[in-house]
Amino acid sequence: MTTPDPSRRLLVSIHDVSPRSERQVDQLADALAHRLGGPNFAMLVIPDHWREAPIADNAAFHARLRDWADQGIEMFLHGWCHRDETPAIAGLAGFKGKHMTAGEGEFLNLPYATALARMTEGKAMLEDILGRSVAGFIAPAWLYGEGALQALGEAGFALAEDHIKVWQPTGGAVLARGPVITWASRSPARIRSSLLFSRLARLALPLTRTVRVAVHPGDTTVPALLDSIDRTLVRFARSHRPARYAELIG
């Protein structure tokens, strides 16, 4: 068996963790633990997924979150509702909202005050449930507007992540660079493109010091995506050590 280079990290995360995706999250967690040698991955928690799955008073889901955290799984706040509730706009932000996500760029167009309120309330809620600090904040669809970026610097998160980097919101230090490998299940075209990108990534990214892989509950509905995820994890677990985001800041 090939021993991974200890200086190279593999950071893996499950997005969209909420009561409405609990079964799929369990399936993904089992698959990741099998390939990564245990719970060496992160979970991104949504406080009220699409305003249909609030976690605030869900004691059973609180227990699941604490159990996952007690196993060593890092917990990130992943927006508030994961849905873009702002009016449609023109320009680059409007293009991103339309083409990069299916109406789920919650923090792309939020004004500063609203973004800060959702971040601080979500952080306080999740930390109260877990009894420990959250690992950081990752916006839905990795999309941040100016208001969200300004709020991040004040909300007290240790880490943030977008499509191309991981950074410290306070001070702005970039801790890791490189595209995140992820998959899309919304349409046949997106399935094909994400399968192609993951194949290319397995060839192009082995020398990258930090490789990031992100999976979503919807991936479980497409066998070809699950196979691609497994191939990707097997490939990078040979060269990169499964690690925690917290290691990026010591």
Give the pLDDT confidence of 1-35 residue by residue, as tens digits. 568 888 999 999 999 999 999 999 999 999 999 99
Average pLDDT over residues 134-149: 97
| Nearest-angstrom CA–CA distance, 140 and 117 | 16
Average pLDDT over residues 89-112: 66
Pick from 8-12, 43-47, 83-87, 110-114: least confident: 83-87
Average pLDDT over residues 67-94: 83
Q: Answer whether residue 191 shows pLDDT above 70.
A: yes
Q: Scanning the structure block, which residue is given the tokens 């990069």?
A: 100
Pick from 2-11, 125-134, 215-224: least confident: 2-11
| Nearest-angstrom CA–CA distance, 215 and 15 | 6
List the domains of the chain with CATH numbers: 5-249 (3.20.20.370)
And the tokens for 71? 């196993």
Average pLDDT over residues 214-229: 98
- Per-residue pLDDT band at 90 (split at 50, 70, 90): very low
Nearest to 81 by CA among 25, 136, 121, 132: 121
Q: What is the pLDDT of residue 49?
A: 97
Q: What is the pLDDT of residue 94?
A: 47
Nearest to 243 by CA among 65, 31, 67, 6: 6
pTM comes to 0.93
Main-chain phi, psi angles of 43, to 5 degrees: -125, 140
